[in-house]
Amino acid sequence: MPEPITTTPIELSGLRGRRVLVTGGSKGIGRAVATRLAAAGATVVTAARKNADNLPPGVHFVAADLGTAEGCAELVTTATDLVGGIDILINNVGAGTPPPDGLLSASDDIWEQTLQLNLLASVRLDRAILPEMIARGGGAIIHVTSVGAHLPIGPDAPYSAAKAALSTYSKALANEFASRGIRVNRISPGLIANDAISALLGQSSDTGPAGPATQMLEKWVAGIPLGRPGQPVEVADLIAFLVSDQAAWITGSDFRIDGGSFPAA
């Protein structure tokens, strides 16, 4: 397993003093985004179900269940009280529950929970925060989808379907509000290393035959032309650029960051 990537962030304008909300920010991509934007001078609020430890200075944490309408409303109220408003919204929260025995075994509950977290959380937060962005003359929104939105990967079709819906919704939002100074873009990550993935891929072959999860991951990594999973900080650098002034003419776009693994141009 490769060592974690360390990047030297480029200077980005327009982030100092900006008020940012990052969902799913206790670990992985969300935590890396919160850290990157705070380092650029933004005031960051991040949210997740579970408390986040050792967040950097300038990052506020709010515990919130964004799989419910009530949780989304409470987050917007708390974040606004903390920092006075939101200039940049990073809709990063997401998770899937693979059906136990294939797609036909996906219950209504699985579909409902997947859509609530991966689609409707973003819809609700956008709907609550956009009016004040418009009143202030502009803002930036990022929706973190997945390469699965373009081509289902693995057994979790409900997750891929929800992310595909989020992608289409995001493009519609970008088109409708571009004239009001709101920029909306999408990020579609491929396989991004987290603690669980790193542990599985780091297992030595002399410990015995690899389990099904490890075998699936190894096959996925083997199909990545750059030869490794991505690192959260690499996604964070892309997101930081897209919400900065350097990306002022970019909206309605989808950026795949997947090490070249997607099979189509």
Which amino acids are annotated catalytic? 159
CB atoms within 10 A of CB 27: 15
- Amino acid occupying residue 171: K
Q: List, in order, residues 6 or more apart from 189 with CB less than 8 Å away.
A: 29, 144, 146, 147, 230, 235, 257, 258
Tell me the Cα Rg of the chain. Answer: 18
- Please give the Cα distance from 72 to 123 (Å, whole number): 10
The gap from C-alpha 174 to its chain's centroid, in whole angstroms, comes to 17
Nearest to 21 by CA among 44, 48, 52, 49: 44
Distance set, CA 47 to CA 20, 72, 164, 220 (Å): 11, 10, 23, 30
Nearest to 185 by CA among 263, 131, 261, 244: 244
Quick check: 93 and 121 in contact, CB under 8 A?
Answer: yes
- Amino acid occupying residue 145: T
Quick check: 29 and 232 in contact, CB under 8 A?
Answer: yes
- Please give the Cα distance from 25 to 55 (Å, whole number): 10
Quick check: 15 and 37 in contact, CB under 8 A?
Answer: yes
- Strand, helix or coil for residue 10: coil
